[in-house]
């Protein structure tokens, strides 16, 4: 029987790669629903190719146009469209590949309905990891990580038995070897020029500041129930080792392979099975030749340290970190602020923030909105 799947964010970097994986395994999956933000041209092509029953887009007027063109498909729109897809009776697994905070609500809705979640959207765990993981346990739902580092750990950790440290690798991003002076003048193209991965713009900028790694540390803390002191970040420019787990006896199990998101996406979708899919080339150790490792430079990349601090403080501090950083990154993408301002803005908002202990989802969403308004105000007055 085919596994019935819905993809939120099918027009993004993860979404399109997931469709490539599924196209190759078309005897294993049936696409029930897909969703786009603004990329209507692409979703139309996806509709024609995959014939979903439900489609959601961001704006109502785009939905109205699609209804005329595809009268036999249920066309939805807005955040409610994503929630409706997440709750559909006929889906078994939801791939959450939208970017930003909009992933949170549909993930919760799907968990409540007992759907397994293939989770790319790290913001969901950064903002509400405690609630999401607890809810998943209560509903006997699997949270299958798509983020390559977390997929690697998931494949190595053996349910956490006797695991001592998580070792998260980082490519180091485009500014690994840059001086502070060069980073001072870094432009948008340089920040978007990631050496290893081709991803959406927001996460690519986060990979340049290493905030992405910081968010991944928080993500790992929730997914694998590890204290922050037991999570280590190692810079590994080749990105062949996607992450590793150290066990109490001194053994380290690492997951290795070519740097391709197809592999973690596919594993999340086919788990617990491994299937020959889109990546058929064997990893060549001889060609790879060199595996290098470095300590992260916390001075040059202070965002990583700030993320550890936010995670350890808990409460809604990670919500603040995520929201302030995201607004600062948007301002950088709009060329309103400079590269190094991203951290300065995030840190200023974070230092001035008062957290809520044990927040519920509504409080998390409220705090997120409050921080965003404050950050936008701060940027305007810079
Ligand atoms: P992209 O920016 O490439 O894609 C984001 C997707 O979300 C697109 O389909 C976009 O639609 C949709 N979207 C954005 N805003 C809205 C909105 N308001 N309403 C509805 N849909 C919306 O991001 P990525 O694919 O790179 O990343 C997605 C998530 O996965 C992020 O949380 C990221 O951190 C995580 N991730 C990504 C990795 C990667 O390799 N790319 C690796 C690990 C994690 P549209 O384009 O049509 O506007
Ligand atoms: Mg990652």
Q: Mean pLDDT across the stretch 77-85?
A: 98
Which pLDDT does position 341 carry in this prediction? 98
Helix 302-313, helix 341-351: angle, nearest 10: 20
CA 16–ligand 2 middle distance (angstroms): 17
Give the position of tokens 């905070």.
Answer: 101
Cα distance between residue 171 and residue 203, in whole Å: 13
Ligand 1 pocket test: which of 14, 16, 173 has the largest number of ligand atoms within 8 Å of its C-beta? Answer: 14
Q: Mean pLDDT across the stretch 84-97?
A: 98
Q: Answer whether residue 40 shows pLDDT above 90.
A: yes
Atom from ligand 1 closest to the CA of residue 57:
20
Q: What is the pTM of this model?
A: 0.98
Cα distance between residue 336 and residue 189, in whole Å: 14
Taking CA atoms, 328 is separated from 30, 60, 379, in Å, by 39, 28, 8
Could you say which ligand is closest to the alpha carbon of residue 102?
1
Atom from ligand 1 closest to the CA of residue 79:
19
Q: Mean pLDDT across the stretch 352-367?
A: 97
How high does pLDDT run on average in the chain? 97
What residue's CA is closest to ligand 1, atom 21? 37
**Ligand 1 pocket by C-beta < 6 Å: which residues?**
9, 11-15, 35-39, 58, 97-99, 102, 120-123, 147, 197, 199-200, 203, 261
Which pLDDT does position 197 carry in this prediction? 80
Q: Which two tokens stand for residue 190?
A: 């340089």
CA 247–ligand 1 middle distance (angstroms): 34
Q: Answer whether residue 194 shows pLDDT above 90.
A: no
Kindly report each contact of residues 280-284 with a partner whose C-beta sits within 8 Å and lies 24 or more positions away, as own/partner. Answer: 283/240, 283/256, 283/257, 283/258
Which pLDDT does position 132 carry in this prediction? 98
Atom from ligand 1 closest to the CA of residue 17:
25
Which pLDDT does position 22 carry in this prediction? 98
Ligand 1 pocket test: which of 79, 171, 199 has the largest number of ligand atoms within 8 Å of its C-beta? Answer: 199
CA 120–ligand 1 middle distance (angstroms): 9
What residue's CA is closest to ligand 1, atom 17? 37
What DSSP letter does each residue of 206-223 carry, written as one string?
Answer: HHHHTHHHHHHHHHHHHH
Could you say which ligand is closest to the alpha carbon of residue 173?
2
Name the band, by pLDDT with cuts 50, 70 and 90, for residue 12. very high
Write out pLDDT tens, residues 226-244.
999 999 999 999 999 999 9
Could you say which ligand is closest to the alpha carbon of residue 216?
2
Which pLDDT does position 24 carry in this prediction? 97
Residue of 75, 10, 61, 124 lying closest to 365 (CA atoms): 124
Ligand 1 pocket test: which of 21, 86, 98 has the largest number of ligand atoms within 8 Å of its C-beta? Answer: 98
CA 206–ligand 2 middle distance (angstroms): 10
CA 147–ligand 2 middle distance (angstroms): 5
C-alpha angle with apex 92: 261 to 102, nearest 5 degrees?
A: 60
Which pLDDT does position 186 carry in this prediction? 94
Which pLDDT does position 261 carry in this prediction? 97
Helix 122-138, helix 317-333: angle, nearest 10: 150
Could you say which ligand is closest to the alpha carbon of residue 82?
1
Could you say which ligand is closest to the alpha carbon of residue 206?
1
SS3 243: strand
Write out pLDDT tens, residues 344-358.
999 999 999 999 999
What residue's CA is closest to ligand 1, atom 9? 9
Q: Answer whether residue 195 shows pLDDT above 90.
A: no
Strand partners, 241: 256
Q: Answer whether residue 196 shows pLDDT above 90.
A: no
Residue of 21, 82, 115, 126 lying closest to 367 (CA atoms): 126
Taking CA atoms, 254 is separated from 120, 156, 166, 237, 257, in Å, by 20, 6, 10, 16, 10
């Amino acid at each position: 029987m085919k596994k019935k799947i819905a993809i939120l964010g099918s027009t993004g970097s993860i979404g399109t790669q997931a469709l490539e994986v599924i196209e190759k395994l078309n005897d294993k999956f049936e696409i029930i629903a897909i969703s786009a933000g603004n990329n209507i041209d692409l979703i139309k092509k996806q509709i024609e190719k995959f014939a979903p029953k439900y489609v959601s887009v961001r704006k109502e007027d785009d939905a109205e146009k699609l209804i005329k063109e595809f009268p036999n498909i249920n066309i939805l729109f807005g955040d409610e469209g994503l929630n409706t897809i997440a709750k559909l009776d006929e889906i078994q697994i939801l791939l959450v590949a939208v970017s930003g905070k909009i992933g949170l609500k549909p993930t919760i809705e799907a968990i409540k309905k007992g759907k397994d979640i293939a989770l790319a959207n790290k913001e969901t765990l950064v903002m509400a990891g405690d609630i999401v993981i607890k809810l998943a346990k209560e509903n006997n739902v699997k949270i299958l990580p798509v983020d390559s580092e977390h997929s690697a750990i998931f494949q190595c950790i053996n349910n956490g038995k006797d695991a001592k440290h998580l070792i998260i690798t980082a490519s180091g991003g485009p500014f690994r070897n840059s001086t502070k002076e060069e980073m001072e003048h870094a432009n948008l193209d340089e920040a978007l020029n990631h050496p290893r991965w081709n991803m959406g713009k927001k996460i690519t900028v986060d990979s340049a500041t290493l905030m992405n790694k910081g968010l991944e540390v928080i993500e790992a803390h929730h997914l694998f129930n590890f204290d922050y002191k037991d999570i280590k970040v190692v810079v590994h420019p080749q990105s062949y080792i996607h992450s590793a787990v150290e066990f109490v006896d001194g053994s380290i199990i690492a997951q290795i392979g070519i740097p391709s998101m197809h592999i973690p996406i596919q594993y999340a979708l086919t788990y617990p099975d491994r299937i020959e899919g889109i990546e058929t080339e064997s990893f060549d150790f001889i060609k790879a030749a060199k595996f290098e490792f470095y300590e992260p430079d916390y001075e040059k990349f202070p965002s990583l340290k700030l993320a550890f601090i936010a995670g350890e403080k808990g409460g809604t501090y990670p919500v603040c970190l995520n929201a302030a950083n995201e607004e600062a990154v948007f301002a950088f993408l709009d060329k309103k602020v400079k590269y190094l301002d991203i951290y300065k803005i995030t840190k200023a908002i974070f230092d001035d923030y008062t957290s809520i202990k044990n927040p519920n989802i509504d409080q998390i969403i409220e705090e997120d909105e409050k921080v965003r308004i404050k950050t936008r105000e701060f940027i305007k007055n810079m």
